């Protein structure tokens, strides 16, 4: 029989966003300050800064972002026009619990998401909700030093209980933490763990608490517990809930066939990519993690029930982001390349984006196979895309052929992965509408099919317009990935 190289019927095509990069309205409707709200704008070459007290005259990009808070109807209408089946969004925890440890949720915050979900429902767009995407109520950072404190898991589960009950009839797909594995890295300390930096507050800088690897793994353990408890709780609230993990999948090739490089690449794959998903998908720490902790003298404080909690809270599906690939080498002399989430070595066979992220569609096929071989559960690619500078022509058009090329290449390789047997159920490219960059805080690093008139200094009308890729993606969805 000829191989049916097609995306399955009912494939979930859509786009992805996150509250702090999209919503704005940072202090409206009773919302509390979040960790994302205290990070200033930066550029590719100037790092963002964390300012525990908001400073006058500083540009904090999350405060207005692209003002989805007021524009959500218009934006969802545009997603519907492209034919979205699914919309990945996150909820701002501090909209629901302004301080994180409040006794009662904030009704105005809950109401905002009622309205957003109702709007999606109008167009039969399935929400895919990230419960925590690089933000937590800032009060939890200040009072508890974020996820380093086990009590924060209780606050998170409480937040989950409120949103699961409130939205159980309108949301089926949930992700517990965005890119949970970023907390294994020093720069993820504040962004993913709400752990306060002491001393140097340059975003992404390894300083103070950020240097404390044991603290980060302890915080990560608390997130694993929180995630597992949320999965169990979610299933008890609604048996149809599908609750997934989300990993920043960093594809790393050995630079040469030197066995030293091969082992190093495997170790990196294990530690950066698979440690977290092994815990979340299989329900237990893998042996290589235990070895790593022993080698580094890291002792994770565990409660008596923790192993059982992890085992009972295994996720229903696996999701990841995939942007680029890098190489690793056992030879320390190799030149480093930049890029906020894609540190590694240059691959002479690949080109890179303006932000030096290497473009590698085949790496996506390789990665999907690599992951599926391990878990054999349904998968979604919930972030992928090209951050690029767009030019608005005099007639208002935006001809982003480079973005179309990038996405076309990646979708074609996803189709290959499906033919390889990978159970891929959805695809939500990142920043389907232009939004604030997480790494640099810029607006000019754009990913969208929809252009938003706003610049790096926060100036612009916020008007939305369709890029060339908008019509292209519409046709991709209409043809279920046949017309690329």
Closest to ligand BG6 by CB, 338 or 421: 338
Q: Which of 23, 126, 135, 179 is catalytic?
A: 179
The secondary structure of residue 273, as a DSSP letter, is: I
Distance CA 218, CA 302 (A): 9
Which residue's CB is nearer to ligand BG6, number 194 or number 248?
A: 248
Pick the catalytic residue: 383, 394, 478, 483?
Answer: 383
191 in Cβ contact with 203 (< 8 Å): yes
Distance CA 87, CA 117 (A): 10
157 vs 185, beta carbon nearer ligand BG6:
185
Taking the complex as a whole, the smallest distance from the CB of residue 4 to ligand BG6 amounts, in Å, to: 33
Q: Which residue has the tokens 């071989």?
A: 373
The CB-of-435 to ligand BG6 minimum distance in angstroms stands at: 7
What's the chain's length in residues? 484
Cβ count near 239 (within 10 Å) = 7
Q: Degrees (nearest 5) of the Cα angle 235, 240, 245?
A: 65
Q: Is residue 430 within 8 Å of residue 388, measured between CB atoms?
A: no
- The closest alpha carbon to 133, from 100, 177, 94, belongs to 177
Judging by beta carbons within 10 Å of its beta carbon (0-12, 13-18, 19+), is residue 214 exposed, middle or buried?
A: middle
Q: Residue 270's Cα: distance from chain center in Å?
A: 19
Q: Which residue has the tokens 């300050």?
A: 33
Nearest residue to ligand BG6, scored by beta-carbon proximity: 439
CB of 38 to ligand BG6, least distance (A): 17
Task: State in angstroms the smallest separation of the CB of 246 from ligand BG6.
Answer: 8
**Toward ligand BG6, which CB reaches closer, 233 or 247?**
247
Number of Cβ within a 10 Å radius of residue 257: 7
Q: What is the smallest separation between the CB atom of 135 and ligand BG6, expressed in angstroms?
A: 10
Closest approach of Cβ 218 to ligand BG6, in Å?
23
Q: Report how far residue 100's alpha carbon sits from residue 103's, in angstroms, rounded to the nearest whole number.
A: 9
Closer residue to ligand BG6 in complex, CB, 106/324? 324
Closest to ligand BG6 by CB, 63 or 445 = 445
Identify the burial level of 339 via C-beta atoms within 10 angstroms of its C-beta, where 0-12 means exposed, 13-18 middle and 19 or more buried. buried
- The DSSP element (H or E) to which 382 belongs, if any, is strand 379-383
- The answer to whether 299 is a known catalytic residue is no
Residues that bind ligand BG6 (CB under 6 A): 18, 21, 134, 178-179, 248, 321, 340-341, 383, 387, 430, 437-440, 445
- Nearest approach in angstroms of CB 481 to ligand BG6 is 23
Phi, psi of 367 (to 5 degrees): -65, -45
CA-angle at 430, arms to 88 and 75, nearest 5°: 60
Q: Which residue has the tokens 């619990």?
A: 97
Non-local CB neighbours of 36 within 8 Å, separated by 6+ positions: 20, 21, 62, 134, 135, 191
C-beta of 106 vs 277, nearer to ligand BG6: 277
Report the nearest approach of ligand BG6 to the CB of residue 232 (Å): 25
Nearer to ligand BG6, 133 or 415 (CB): 133
Category of 43 on φ-ψ map: left (φ > 0), alpha (ψ -120 to 50) or beta: beta
Give dist(CA 130, CA 354) in Å, integer: 28
Q: Any idea what DSSP says for residue 39?
A: B
Active site residue 304: no
Query: Which residues does the annotation mark as catalytic?
Result: 179, 383
């Amino acid at each position: 029989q000829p191989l049916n190289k097609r995306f399955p019927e009912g494939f979930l095509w859509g786009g992805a966003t996150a509250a702090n990069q999209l919503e704005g309205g940072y202090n409206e409707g009773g919302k509390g300050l979040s960790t994302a709200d205290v990070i200033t704008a930066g550029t590719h070459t100037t790092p963002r800064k964390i300012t525990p007290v908001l400073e006058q005259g500083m540009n904090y990009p999350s405060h207005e972002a692209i003002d989805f808070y007021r524009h959500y109807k218009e934006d969802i209408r545009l997603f519907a026009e492209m034919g979205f089946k699914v919309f990945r969004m996150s909820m701002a925890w501090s909209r629901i619990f302004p301080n994180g440890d409040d006794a009662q949720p904030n009704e105005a915050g809950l109401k905002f998401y009622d309205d957003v979900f109702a709007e999606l429902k109008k167009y039969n767009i399935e929400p895919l909700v990230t419960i925590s995407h690089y933000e937590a109520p800032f009060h939890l950072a200040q009072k508890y030093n974020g996820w380093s404190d086990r009590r924060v898991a209780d606050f998170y589960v409480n937040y989950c209980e409120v949103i699961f009950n409130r939205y159980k009839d309108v949301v089926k797909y949930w992700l517990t933490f965005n890119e949970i594995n970023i907390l294994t890295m020093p720069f993820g300390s504040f962004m993913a763990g709400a752990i306060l930096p002491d001393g140097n507050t340059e975003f992404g800088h390894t300083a103070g608490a950020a240097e404390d690897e044991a603290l980060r793994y302890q915080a990560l353990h608390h997130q694993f517990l929180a995630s597992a408890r949320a999965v169990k709780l979610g299933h008890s609230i609604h048996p149809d809930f599908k609750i997934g993990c989300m990993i920043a999948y960093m594809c790393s090739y050995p630079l040469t066939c030197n066995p030293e490089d091969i082992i190093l690449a495997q170790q990196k794959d294990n530690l950066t990519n698979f440690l977290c998903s092994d815990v979340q998908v299989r329900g237990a720490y893998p042996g290589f993690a235990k070895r790593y902790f022993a080698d580094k003298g890291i002792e994770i404080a565990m409660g008596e029930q923790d192993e059982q909690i992890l085992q009972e809270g295994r996720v229903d599906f696996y999701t990841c982001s995939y942007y680029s690939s890098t190489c690793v080498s056992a030879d320390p002399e190799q030149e480093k390349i930049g890029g906020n989430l894609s540190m590694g070595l240059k691959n002479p066979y690949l080109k890179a984006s303006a932000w030096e992220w290497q473009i590698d569609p085949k790496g996506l096929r390789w990665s999907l196979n690599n992951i599926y071989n391990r878990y054999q559960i349904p998968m979604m690619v919930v972030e992928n895309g090209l951050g690029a500078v767009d030019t608005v022509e005099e007639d208002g058009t935006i001809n982003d052929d480079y973005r179309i090329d990038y996405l076309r290449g990646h979708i074609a390789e996803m189709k290959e992965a499906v033919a390889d047997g990978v159970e891929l159920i959805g695809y939500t490219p990142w920043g389907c509408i232009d939004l604030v960059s997480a790494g640099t805080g810029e607006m000019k690093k754009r990913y969208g099919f929809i252009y938003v008139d706003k610049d790096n200094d926060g100036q612009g009308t916020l008007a939305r317009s369709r890029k060339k890729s908008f019509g292209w993606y519409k046709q991709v969805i209409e043809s279920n990935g046949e017309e690329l």
